[in-house]
Structure 1
Amino acid sequence: MSSHRSRPRRHSAARRRRLPLRYLLPVLLLVAMLAMLMLRGYVHSEIMADHRIQPEAATDHVPEKILDGGPVIDTRGGQESSRSIDDHKLVLTFDDGPDPEWTPKVLDVLKKHDAHAVFFVTGTMASRYPDLVQRMVEEGHEVGLHTFNHPDLSYQSSKRIDWELSQNQLALEGAAGVRTSLFRPPYSSFADAMDDKSWPVTKYIGSRGYITVVNNTDSEDWQRPGVDEIIRRATPHDGKGAIVLMHDSGGDRSQTVAALDRFLPDLQHHGYKFQNLTEALGIASAHTPVTGLELAKGKAWIYAVQASENITTVLVGGLAVIGVLVMGRFVLMLLLSVIHARRVRRKGFAWGPPITEPVSVLVPAYNEAKCIENTVRSLMLSEHPIEVIVIDDGSSDGTARIVEDLRLPNVRVVRQLNAGKPAALNRGLANARFDLVVMMDGDTVFEPSTVRELVQPFGDPRVGAVAGNAKVGNRDSLIGAWQHIEYVMGFNLDRRMYDILRCMPTIPGAVGAFRRSALEPIGGMSDDTLAEDTDVTMALHRAGWQVVYAENARAWTEAPESVQQLWSQRYRWSYGTMQAIWKHRRALVESGPSGRFGRVGLPLVSLFMVLAPLLAPLIDVFFLYGVVFGPTQKTIIAWLGVLALQAVCAAYAFRLDKERMTHLISLPLQQLLYRQLMYVVLLQSWITALTGGRLRWQKLRRTGAVGAAPGALPHQRNAAVAGDDRRPVA
Structure 2
Amino acid sequence: MAASRRRHATPRAIDRVRRRAVPKPRVVMALLLLLGLVCVMLLDGYLRAEVGNDQRVRSDASSDTVPQSVLDGGPLLSFAGGTARTQSVPDKTIVLTFDDGPDPEWSGKVLDILDDNDVPGTFFLVGSMIARYPDVVRRMVDDGSEVGVHTFTHVDLSYQSEARVEREIAQTQLALAGAAGITTTLFRAPYSSTNDAVDDYSWPVYQRLGAMGYTSVFIDTDSEDWQRPGVSKIIEWATPKDGEGASVLFHDAGGDRSETLAALPKYIKKMKAKGYTFTTVSGARQQAAGTEQDEGAGPGTQGPQGAQDARGDSAQAAHRTADTATRWEGRALLAAVAVAEWTVPGLAAVLAVVGFAVLGRFGLMLLLARRHHRQRDGRRFSWGAEVTRPVTVIVPAYNEKECIANTLGSLAASTHPIEILVVDDGSTDGTAEIAESLGLPHVRVVRQENAGKSAALNHGVRQARHDIVVMMDSDTVFEPGTVHQLVQPFADPAIGAVAGNAKVGNRSTMIGAWQHIEYVMGFNLDRRMYDLLRCMPTIPGAIGAFRRTAVLEAGGMSEDTLAEDTDITIALHRAGWRVVYAEHARAWTEAPASMAQLWRQRYRWSYGTMQALWKHRGSVTDKGPSGRFGRVGMPLVVLFQIVTPVFAPLIDVFTLYAMAFVDFRASLLAWLAVLGVQLFCAAYAFRLDREKYRYLLMLPLQQLAYRQLMYLVLIHSCVTAATGGRLRWQKLKRTGEVGTPRPGPEAG
Task: State how 1:65-80 maps to structure 2 within 5 Å.
Answer: 65-80=69-84
Tell me by how many angstroms 1:571 deviates: 1.0
Distance change in 2, residues 1:570/1:61 (3 Å): closer
Task: State how 1:657-676 maps to structure 2 within 5 Å.
Answer: 657-676=689-708
Aligned counterpart, 1:135: 139
Pair 1:174-2:178 in alignment: yes
Aligned counterpart, 2:6: none
Task: State how 1:30-49 maps to structure 2 within 5 Å.
Answer: 30-49=34-53
Q: CA contact under 8 A between 2:369 and 2:524: conserved in structure 1?
A: no
TM-score for both structures, normalised by structure 1: 0.91
1:616 aligned counterpart, secondary structure:
helix
Provide the rounded CA distance (Å) in 1 between the counterparts of 2:550 and 2:615.
19
Tell me by how many angstroms 1:641 deviates: 0.7
Tell me by how many angstroms 1:199 deviates: 3.5
Provide the rounded CA distance (Å) in 1 between the counterparts of 2:62 and 2:513.
66
The correspondence for 1:245, drawn from 241, 249, 257, is 249
The correspondence for 1:374, drawn from 406, 414, 426, is 406
Aligned counterpart, 1:726: none
Distance change in 2, residues 1:59/1:558 (3 Å): closer
Q: CA contact under 8 A between 1:439 and 1:511: conserved in structure 2?
A: yes
Aligned counterpart, 1:601: 633
Q: CA contact under 8 A between 1:391 and 1:425: conserved in structure 2?
A: yes
Tell me by how many angstroms 1:684 deviates: 1.1
Amino acid at match of 2:253: S
Pair 1:530-2:562 in alignment: yes
Tell me by how many angstroms 1:433 deviates: 1.2
Amino acid at match of 2:369: S
Q: CA contact under 8 A between 2:399 and 2:428: conserved in structure 1?
A: yes
The correspondence for 1:573, drawn from 605, 614, 637, is 605
Q: Which has the higher contact order (CA 8 A, sep 6+)?
A: 1
2:24 aligned counterpart, secondary structure:
helix
2:123 aligned counterpart, secondary structure:
strand
The correspondence for 1:696, drawn from 728, 731, 736, is 728
The correspondence for 1:460, drawn from 480, 489, 492, is 492
Provide the rounded CA distance (Å) in 2 between the counterparts of 1:277 and 1:356.
98
Aligned counterpart, 2:415: 383
Tell me by how many angstroms 1:551 deviates: 0.6
The one-character-per-residue Cα deviations of 1:190-213 (angstroms, maximum 9, x if unpaired) are 234334444343223211211010
Task: State how 1:497-516 maps to structure 2 within 5 Å.
Answer: 497-516=529-548
Matched residues, percent identical? 59
The correspondence for 1:544, drawn from 576, 592, 598, is 576
The one-character-per-residue Cα deviations of 1:699-730 (angstroms, maximum 9, x if unpaired) are 11111111112339xxxxxxxxxxxxxxxxxx
Tell me by how many angstroms 1:53 deviates: 2.5
Q: CA contact under 8 A between 2:573 and 2:626: conserved in structure 1?
A: yes
2:521 aligned counterpart, secondary structure:
helix
Distance change in 2, residues 1:69/1:516 (3 Å): same
1:408 aligned counterpart, secondary structure:
coil
Tell me by how many angstroms 1:326 deviates: 1.8
The one-character-per-residue Cα deviations of 1:392-419 (angstroms, maximum 9, x if unpaired) are 1122222122212223221111211122
Provide the rounded CA distance (Å) in 1 between the counterparts of 2:116 and 2:723.
55
Tell me by how many angstroms 1:14 deviates: 13
Q: Which runs of 5+ in 1 are unaligned?
A: 1-8, 713-730
Provide the rounded CA distance (Å) in 2 between the counterparts of 1:150 and 1:443.
63
2:407 aligned counterpart, secondary structure:
helix
Q: CA contact under 8 A between 1:76 and 1:208: conserved in structure 2?
A: no
Aligned counterpart, 1:654: 686
The one-character-per-residue Cα deviations of 1:277-316 (angstroms, maximum 9, x if unpaired) are 2234335521112224333333333333333333322331
Tell me by how many angstroms 1:425 deviates: 1.1
Amino acid at match of 1:630: V
The correspondence for 2:379, drawn from 340, 343, 347, is 347
Distance change in 2, residues 1:421/1:265 (3 Å): farther
Q: CA contact under 8 A between 1:616 and 1:675: conserved in structure 2?
A: no
1:414 aligned counterpart, secondary structure:
strand
Tell me by how many angstroms 1:124 deviates: 2.8
Tell me by how many angstroms 1:608 deviates: 1.0
Which piece of structure 1 moves more, 549-558 or 199-208? Answer: 199-208
Provide the rounded CA distance (Å) in 2 between the counterparts of 1:585 and 1:594.
14
Amino acid at match of 2:144: G
The correspondence for 1:100, drawn from 91, 104, 109, is 104
Tell me by how many angstroms 1:371 deviates: 1.4
Tell me by how many angstroms 1:215 deviates: 1.2
Tell me by how many angstroms 1:448 deviates: 0.7
Provide the rounded CA distance (Å) in 2 between the counterparts of 1:400 and 1:61.
92
Provide the rounded CA distance (Å) in 2 between the counterparts of 1:144 and 1:378.
82
Tell me by how many angstroms 1:159 deviates: 3.7
2:730 aligned counterpart, secondary structure:
coil
The correspondence for 2:322, drawn from 275, 290, 294, is 290
Amino acid at match of 1:150: H
Pair 1:338-2:370 in alignment: yes
Equivalent pairs counted in the alignment come to: 703
Q: Which runs of 5+ in 2 are unaligned?
A: 1-12, 287-291, 293-313
Which piece of structure 1 moves more, 258-267 or 607-616? Answer: 258-267
Aligned counterpart, 2:229: 225
Aligned counterpart, 2:527: 495
Amino acid at match of 1:447: E
Aligned counterpart, 2:591: 559
Provide the rounded CA distance (Å) in 1 between the counterparts of 2:716 and 2:282.
58
Distance change in 2, residues 1:108/1:490 (3 Å): farther
1:506 aligned counterpart, secondary structure:
coil
Provide the rounded CA distance (Å) in 2 between the counterparts of 1:397 and 1:301.
62
Task: State how 1:419-498 maps to structure 2 within 5 Å.
Answer: 419-498=451-530
TM-score for both structures, normalised by structure 2: 0.89
2:713 aligned counterpart, secondary structure:
helix
2:97 aligned counterpart, secondary structure:
strand
Tell me by how many angstroms 1:661 deviates: 1.2
The one-character-per-residue Cα deviations of 1:217-252 (angstroms, maximum 9, x if unpaired) are 211100001123222322334554322211112211
Q: CA contact under 8 A between 1:88 and 1:271: conserved in structure 2?
A: yes
Q: CA contact under 8 A between 1:77 and 1:206: conserved in structure 2?
A: no
2:568 aligned counterpart, secondary structure:
helix
Pair 1:680-2:712 in alignment: yes
Pair 1:623-2:655 in alignment: yes
RMSD: 2.4
Tell me by how many angstroms 1:15 deviates: 9.2
Task: State how 1:194-343 maps to structure 2 within 5 Å.
Answer: 194-237=198-241, 239-265=243-269, 267-268=271-272, 272-282=276-286, 283=292, 285-343=317-375
Distance change in 2, residues 1:480/1:237 (3 Å): same
The one-character-per-residue Cα deviations of 1:82-129 (angstroms, maximum 9, x if unpaired) are 222234432221111222332233233333444321111122322333
Provide the rounded CA distance (Å) in 2 between the counterparts of 1:610 and 1:195.
59
Q: CA contact under 8 A between 2:405 and 2:435: conserved in structure 1?
A: yes
